[in-house]
Amino acid sequence: MRKPVNYDLVAPEYDRRYESNRFDGIRECLRMVLGGEVRSVLEVGCGTGHWLADIAPAEFETVIGLDQSHGMLHRAQTSAPAALLVQATAERLPFPDARLDRVFCVNALHHFTAPFAFVTECRRVLRDDGGLLTIGLDPHVGDDQWWVYEYFPSALEKDRRRYPATSAIRDLATAAGFREIATTIAQHIPAAVSFDQALSQGLVERSSTSQLMVISDDEYEAGRARLLTEKPMLRADLHLYASIAWA
């Protein structure tokens, strides 16, 4: 059974990840997909509103952020005051048919309980020529290295259950009626952080990433104890993939 992540509790610490990573590749993907004659934009799984604020909401007639977590939306009110915020689930988007120009989600698809229902809903609410962008890890590829997977081994196993492969995302989009579906690398994240620096930045705390929140308490404590003993350099070499589909 999937262990849910309580984002109401995580919300106060969530934006810490943006302090050490610029995510320029994600930003460039968003700029590309949101370019042209785009009036209305929806982010599903908007969290604290980081990307809603980043896309310059004033450039669009309507910018909407949707999240299931009240705590995340409360913080998004401050981060993205120009956006319309909606508390709802990704699998039942509370919008009329053919109303939006773009839908995107960043590092959120793996939290949705029914990805196909989400993709189908996106096709329903998008106008003709509308676009869907999803960005996230693909742990099925097997190319990524991450200290989290090394010290908390079941996190990788759980990620392979939580994250749809990019090939599966393309299949879902095809089945939902999308066209011109493609995947590219949005962001390469190489990192090497000393253990003391990681500790001071809170990277070893459970709230730093959902991978540490879905494992058991015993595994987290064992991995943390091992880290405290070994004090290793914490290394990562990760890729975030962007899958784009057109209505």
Residue 214 belongs to domain with CATH number:
3.40.50.150
Strands 234-246 and 145-146, bridge-based pairing: antiparallel
With a CB cutoff of 8 Å and minimum separation 6, the contacts of 104 are 30, 33, 34, 41, 42, 43, 44, 51, 132, 133, 134, 135
Query: What is the predicted pLDDT for the residue at 1?
Result: 46
CA 161 distance to own-chain centroid: 16
The SS3 assignment for 9 reads helix
Q: Give the C-alpha separation, 100 to 102, whole Å.
A: 6
- Is residue 1, in this structure, part of any structural domain at all? no
pLDDT of residue 9: 52
Q: How many domains does the chain have?
A: 1
- Mean pLDDT check: name the lowest of 197-201, 232-236, 243-247: 197-201
State the DSSP code for 132. Answer: E
For helices 166-175 and 115-125, what crossing angle results, to 10°?
Answer: 50
The pLDDT of residue 230 is 98
Mean pLDDT over all residues of the chain?
Answer: 92
The pLDDT of residue 54 is: 92
- Establish if 136 belongs to a structural domain: yes
Q: Which two tokens stand for residue 70?
A: 């009240």
Query: Which domain range does residue 215 map to?
Result: 7-246
At 203, give phi and psi (nearest 5°). Answer: -70, -20
Q: State the pLDDT at residue 22.
A: 78
Question: Residue 103's beta-bridge partner residues?
Answer: 42, 132
Cα Rg of the chain (Å, integer): 18
Q: What is the pLDDT of residue 143?
A: 85
Cβ–Cβ < 8 Å for 127, 98: yes
2 inside domain: no
Place of tokens 């590219």: 184
Mean pLDDT of the 224-232 span? 97
